Amino acid sequence: SFTTEFVPVVRASLVTPGQNAVGVAIPTTFSWHPVEHAEKYEFMLFTDDMLTTVVQTHMVDTSIVIDTLKANTDYLYRVRAKNQTSKSNWTNHEFTTAAADRGDGDGGVVTSTEGEDALPRAYELSQNYPNPFNPSTVIRYAVPQAGEVQLEVYDMMGRKVSTLVRGTKSAGYHEAVFDASHLGSGAYMYRLVAGDVVLARTLYLIK
């Protein structure tokens, strides 16, 4: 007979949404850093009082996008790493989703006048956050109409180092997580290509 070697896993380090983040966009990208020796992750999402489980799933990836959250609502999510012999403690973050923007002209911050279901009028590529970062950052972009989209990252020599998005995206606001744990410190360019539109920005990795 043989014995299975016990291989411990440490707690996951959550990336997005950040602890006590407010104004979190919907659809919402949940992401965390990979954990050494982890074979899968257990993800749970609750309303903030933890009385209602919204999502519970096991997964291999280190990110998940959920588009069914309610606006201006407090949530708590938690992640733990697992393998065949052990599982980590939970890591929790609380956050609040963005308010539904009804464009009612009451003096608040109005980002759209088309109501809460407004779609972007043009392609947009937002500055990544956090920036500078190590090792992961979130890139938000807007697509005014469904179509083919590419989002890629290049070093300053023009060499492609990562493809974050390649395929058809629906009209709306989207997020992508860039994990640069395999890259060295420095400036990189990320570029969105959609039809004839090309948008680019610079991000900074500091290790």
Give the 3-state secondary structure of the chain.
Answer: CCCCCCCCCCCCCEEECCCCEEEECCCEEEEECCCCCCCEEEEEEEECCCCCEEEEEEECCCEEEECCCCCCCEEEEEEEEECCCCECCCEEEEEEECCCCCCCCCCCCCCCCCCCCCCCCCCEECCCECCCECCEEEEEEEECCCEEEEEEEEECCCCEEEEEEEEEECCEEEEEEEECCCCCCEEEEEEEEECCEEEEEEEEECC
Under 8 Å between Cβ of 48 and 125: no
Under 8 Å between Cβ of 207 and 137: no
Residue 132 confidence (pLDDT) = 86
Q: Which of 117, 96, 112 is nearest to 48 (CA)?
A: 96
pLDDT in tens, 57-75: 888 888 888 888 888 889 9
pLDDT in tens, 26-41: 888 898 888 889 999 9
Residue 157 confidence (pLDDT) = 86
Instruction: State the average pLDDT over residues 118-126.
Output: 83
Give me the count of residues in the chain. 207
Q: Which of 150, 185, 154 is nearest to 164 (CA)?
A: 150
pLDDT confidence tier of residue 144, bands split at 50, 70 and 90: confident
CA 37 to chain centre: 23
Residue 105 confidence (pLDDT) = 39
Question: 191 or 48, which is more confident?
Answer: 191
Which range, of 111-120, 145-154, 160-169, 174-183, averages the lowest pLDDT? 111-120
Give one word for 103, left, alpha or beta, with left for phi > 0 and alpha for psi -120 to 50: left
Q: Is the pLDDT of residue 151 over 90?
A: yes
Backbone angles phi, psi at 7, to 5 degrees: -120, 105
Residue 110 confidence (pLDDT) = 34
Q: Provide the residue ranges of all domains of the chain, joining segments of one domain with +.
A: 14-97, 124-205
Give me the half-sphere count of Cα atoms (radius 13 Å) on the Cβ side of residue 36. 4
Residue 102 confidence (pLDDT) = 46
Pick the CATH number of 14-97 from 2.60.450.10, 2.60.40.10, 3.40.50.11600, 3.40.50.1100: 2.60.40.10
Q: Does domain 124-205 have CATH number 2.40.37.10?
A: no
Q: Which of 162, 113, 111 is nearest to 139 (CA)?
A: 162
Q: 14-97 and 124-205 share one CATH topology? A: yes
Residue 71 confidence (pLDDT) = 87
